Amino acid sequence: MGPFDDPVSTAIGTHSSAGSSYLTSSAFCGTCHDVTSPTGLRLEEAFSEWQNSPAAECGQNCQSCHMGPVPGVPVPIDQRPLGRAATVPDVDPQRIPLRRLSDHTFAGPDYSLLPDTEFPHKLDWMYEVDYRQFDQLTPYQQKTLTELRRANRTALRIASEKRYQLLRNAARIAVQAPAWADAGQAIGIRVDVTSITAGHSFPTGFTAERQAWVQITVRDPHGRTIFQSGDLDPNGDLRDEHSYAVEKGKIPFDKYLLNFQNKFTALTTIGTDRSVILSVNRHLQPVNVLRPATGVAASYGRPASFRLAKGSLPPLATMGRTYPVQLPHLAGSYRIDVRLLFRHLPPVLLDRIGTSHLKHLLESVVIDHRQAVIQVGQSAVGNLCSPSDSAALRYLNQRSSSPSAATVETKP
């Protein structure tokens, strides 16, 4: 079974086959990419989002973005490169027909936290031997383990390159700020995030774990931070309601945080909502056991006492925030740094599931980056840019990082 209506003839030694349009439909992807928990909570809605997206309206399927030559960019099958889609032992490659090729890497935003001995491949003998004691392995085991690690590292490097490319094709940021201001003046810096993904929300998938947020920093002429949002606490978490440090009152809550993460919301014993990290309502069900829903939860997409609060950016939509910045009484050049960041897991989740030792492997990927300068003087020059300041605005909205690949900013 395959996507081609004219499968290769069995005369060259292949097995019998037939074409199936189902394999090239989004419904094929939807069998895995809509996930409902035993309690009736919709944990993943990527396929449902696609069904209601601009991409679905124009007939664009999942495979056009996720199996094309450029991850995240829709490329129709008739515009993809030609090549041999298979190799058959002892058969002249010229007898294999040319096909429009698809990329089976299936690039996504996630990556493995396992060591290169475990993923993506593992040898059979490794399930019976403690391969961590390399000196105690046989020569054959040492040789094959070394070869495996090299192959896994190559595969993981290729997957990371495609993941960065996919993320960089997900969204853009635009920044508006005055080019001139007075010392001591209160100004507003507007940051808008625009999704360039037509097929689903940004982010999508298991969005209660995935974080996409804006980090903005404003520094005075001496390099001192006078405003910041989207920065991390000592544990590497955002300064939101899931932060240990915020909960204990050690650092302030980030009230200007622009985060597109969806969050589990539980009904408490006193009837109020509370954002939680795990998909179990321990307020009404203290025992950590997933029980079947008692009502028709599937009709609503959630049980009566639990829901997934949507914060993600809809397809091709724009959402933003104006950050209020109080300038000190100091003249000079003030620098603005704005980044759109993504990571597939927050550190606090790893703490909750008992895998804190993996937190150092988490990456914050810079999807887009803008920088600008505000000239601050002691006398009034004007709060808005004059026509002569258009070059400054163009500079403000230019990318500050290479367009070829996203970059890894932090490892909490």
* Per-residue pLDDT, 300: 64
Per-residue pLDDT of the chain (412 residues; tens, 9 = 90+): 778 777 776 666 667 778 888 988 999 999 999 998 877 888 899 999 999 999 999 999 999 999 999 999 999 888 999 998 877 788 888 888 888 898 988 888 999 999 999 999 999 999 999 999 999 999 999 999 999 999 999 999 999 999 999 999 999 999 999 999 999 999 999 999 999 999 999 999 998 999 999 999 999 999 999 999 999 999 999 999 999 999 999 999 999 999 999 999 988 888 888 899 988 777 776 666 666 666 665 566 677 788 889 999 999 999 999 999 999 999 999 999 999 999 999 999 999 999 999 999 999 999 999 999 999 998 544 443 333 343 334 344 444 443 334 455 544 4
* Per-residue pLDDT, 337: 98
HSE-up of 263 (CA within 13 Å, CB side)? Answer: 17
User: Which two structure tokens, joined as six digits, stand for 19?
Assistant: 């074409």
Residue with tokens 């004691």: 133
Rg of the chain in Å (alpha carbons): 26
CA distance 241 to 166: 29
Instruction: Name residue 5's amino acid.
Output: D
* Per-residue pLDDT, 407: 52
* Per-residue pLDDT, 179: 95
Contacts of 235 (CB under 8 A, 6+ apart): 243, 244, 245, 347, 348, 351, 359, 412
Residue 261 CB: number of other CB atoms within 10 A? 22
Query: What confidence tens digit (pLDDT) does each residue in 272-286 have?
Result: 888 999 887 777 766
pTM over 0.75: yes
CA distances from 244 to 35, 92, 278 (A): 29, 63, 15
CA distance 367 to 134: 39
Annotate 340-388 with three-state secondary structure: EEEECCCHHHHHHCCCHHHHHHCCEEEEEEEEEEEEEECCCCCCCCCHH
**Domain residue ranges of the chain, discontinuous segments joined by +:** 10-100, 107-168, 171-260+313-410, 263-309
Does 2.60.40.10 match the CATH number of domain 171-260+313-410? yes
* Per-residue pLDDT, 199: 95
User: Which two structure tokens, joined as six digits, stand for 209?
Assistant: 């774990």
